[in-house]
Amino acid sequence: MLTATERAERDPAALQRALLEIEQAIAELGPQLIDAKMRATECDFALKILKERKSALQSTLKSLGNCI
């Protein structure tokens, strides 16, 4: 004999509702994920630019040190 919990776990309608809830949660997270990826990409670009600028300044400073 099945318990109420076991019957609920095997109820096709309950399973379908659970699947729909999961699909809805995934759909709601989609835009947040896209936004987070865009922010991460922007941060990566900003970091790359800063590192390139740092390298250029260090190179310039080194060149000036050799001239003095």
- 8-62 pLDDT, tens digit each: 778 888 889 999 999 999 999 999 999 999 999 999 999 999 999 999 999 999 9
Q: Residue 4 above 80 pLDDT?
A: no
Q: Are 27 and 19 in contact (CB under 8 A)?
A: no
Residues 6+ positions from 9 with CB-CB distance below 8 Å:
15
Residue 45: domain span: 4-67
* Domain tally, the chain: 1
